[in-house]
């Protein structure tokens, strides 16, 4: 039996988890990953996704369609990630995405186990449900100086279509990009300066990383990669911007969407880095807060 697993959106970085779990659930199965986002998938997604969905979700639909059309999978394996950190929820779109696939692609069989750490109710086997094993991303290495923190959901940072090569651009300008990778921090570490801890797992992760980096490392600037139509980003971005204003960090917010114009974004990043360079050289005393 061919089991299709799209690896984008919330399932990005879960490859090792799936390889461990699927043989436990299904006998003699062959796992088919959709792989990296291609232009073809993006087109499928844009055509079949509902207009208001955020870009990662549209691309996800493209991945599913690609698996169905080109790989002829028998079953799709889409766990419902209700909560991946104790005490938090995932974004409503992540929770509801199996329902979209179920109702829009009627011919395909779906396997939708529920992962819900909020209620400490585990549907899948105990061993594979250890928190740190769910997602698997390479951690960023923190340099002594010249760090730029790039904040976004992991499915944006590690998707080359969505991040438009921002990490590479920053690297080639001589700076070291650092970024949050899902859930490396103790989930019960609640940020002190927030009026209320976030109830979204990814938002909590990003904000905690940001605050930790501001307090413990030497960072020169903050770049927020916002996806168009993302509900969490609209709140999170605002809070991070306000914090940067108070601390006096140069801040840049880039909204990425389906249009593939890498060059424009590269120019903006370069201008931003030039500004940081110039500021550290010429204006040691005065700190302007906006990039």
Partner 1 sequence: MRKITFPHMGNLFVIAKALFEELGFEVVVPPYNNKSALEIGKRLSPEFICLPFKLNMGNFIQAIEMGADTIVIFGGCGPCRFGYYGALEKEILKDLGYDVEMIVIEPLFYGLRNFLEQVSKIFARKNIASILKRVYRLAKKVDGIERKVHFLRPREMVKGSVDKIYERFRKEALKVYGIDQMERLVDTTNVLLDNLYIVNEKVRKIGIVGEIYTIIDSFSSLNIEKILGEMGCEVERNLYISQWIDTHLIYPIFRKKDTIVKRYSKGIMPVLIGGHARETISYAIYFAAQKYDGILHIFPLTCMPEIIAKSVLNGIKNQIGVPIMHVVVDEIDSDVGIKTRLEAFLDLIEARSEKVERGLLSWD
Q: Which of positions 61-80 make contact with partner 1 (CB under 8 A)? A: 80
Binding of partner 1 by 189 (CB under 8 A):
no
114-116 and 121-122 strand pairing: antiparallel
CB 291 within 8 A of CB 272: yes
Binding of partner 1 by 174 (CB under 8 A):
no
Binding of partner 1 by 234 (CB under 8 A):
yes
* Closest distance to partner 1 from the beta carbon of 246 (Å): 9
How far does CA 4 lie from the centroid of its chain? 21
> Contacting partner 1 (CB under 8 A), which of 13, 56, 229, 250?
229
Burial class (CB in 10 A: 0-12, 13-18, 19+), 20: middle
* Closest distance to partner 1 from the beta carbon of 255 (Å): 8
* Closest distance to partner 1 from the beta carbon of 28 (Å): 28
Which of 160, 43, 138, 49 has the alpha carbon at shortest distance from 97?
A: 49
Binding of partner 1 by 196 (CB under 8 A):
yes
Binding of partner 1 by 291 (CB under 8 A):
no
Specify the stretch interacting with partner 1 by CB under 8 A; choose among 146-154, 206-214, 226-234, 276-284: 226-234
Residue-by-residue DSSP string for 211-228: HHHHHHS-EEEEEEEEET
What residue ranges in the chain does DSSP mark as E strands? 2-5, 30-33, 75-77, 80-83, 109-111, 114-116, 121-122, 147-151, 176-178, 219-227, 251-256
CB 257 within 8 A of CB 227: yes
Edge-to-edge strand ranges of the sheet holding 176-178: 176-178, 147-151, 219-227, 251-256
CB 211 within 8 A of CB 166: no
Binding of partner 1 by 110 (CB under 8 A):
no
Binding of partner 1 by 95 (CB under 8 A):
yes
Binding of partner 1 by 53 (CB under 8 A):
yes
> Contacting partner 1 (CB under 8 A), which of 28, 103, 119, 174?
103
Closer to partner 1 by Cβ: residue 32 or 249: 249
Specify the stretch interacting with partner 1 by CB under 8 A; choose among 11-19, 136-144, 179-187, 197-205: 197-205
* Closest distance to partner 1 from the beta carbon of 127 (Å): 24
* Closest distance to partner 1 from the beta carbon of 79 (Å): 12
Name the residues that contact partner 1, by CB under 8 A.
49-50, 52-53, 80, 82, 88-93, 95-97, 99-100, 102-104, 106, 114, 194-196, 198-200, 226, 229-235, 237-239, 242
């Amino acid at each position: 039996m061919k089991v299709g697993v799209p690896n984008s959106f919330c399932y990005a970085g879960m490859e090792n988890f799936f390889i461990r779990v699927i043989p436990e659930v299904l006998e003699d199965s062959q796992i088919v990953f959709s792989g990296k986002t291609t232009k073809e998938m993006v087109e499928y997604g844009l055509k079949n996704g509902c207009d208001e969905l955020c870009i990662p979700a549209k691309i996800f639909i493209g991945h599913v369609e690609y698996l169905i059309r080109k790989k002829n999978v028998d079953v799709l394996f889409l766990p419902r990630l209700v909560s991946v950190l104790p005490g938090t929820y995932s974004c409503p779109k992540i929770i509801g995405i199996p329902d979209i696939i179920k109702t829009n692609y009627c011919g395909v069989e779906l396997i939708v186990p529920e992962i819900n750490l909020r209620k400490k109710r585990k549907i899948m086997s105990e061993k594979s449900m250890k928190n740190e094993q769910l997602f698997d991303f390479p951690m960023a290495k923190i340099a002594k100086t010249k760090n730029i923190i790039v904040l976004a959901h992991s499915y944006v940072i590690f998707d080359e279509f969505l991040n438009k090569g921002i990490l590479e651009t920053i690297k080639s300008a001589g700076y070291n990009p650092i970024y949050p990778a899902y859930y490396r921090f103790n989930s019960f570490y609640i940020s002190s300066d927030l009026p209320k801890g976030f109830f979204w797992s990814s938002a909590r992760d990003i904000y905690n990383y940001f605050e930790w980096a501001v307090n413990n490392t030497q960072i020169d600037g903050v770049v927020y990669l916002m996806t168009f139509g993302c509900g969490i980003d609209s709140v999170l971005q605002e809070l991070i911007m306000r914090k940067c204003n108070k601390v006096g960090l140069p801040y840049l917010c880039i909204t990425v969407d389906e249009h593939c114009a890498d060059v424009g974004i590269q120019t903006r990043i370069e201008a931003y880095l030039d500004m940081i360079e110039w500021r550290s050289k010429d204006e040691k005393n005065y700190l302007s807060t906006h990039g």
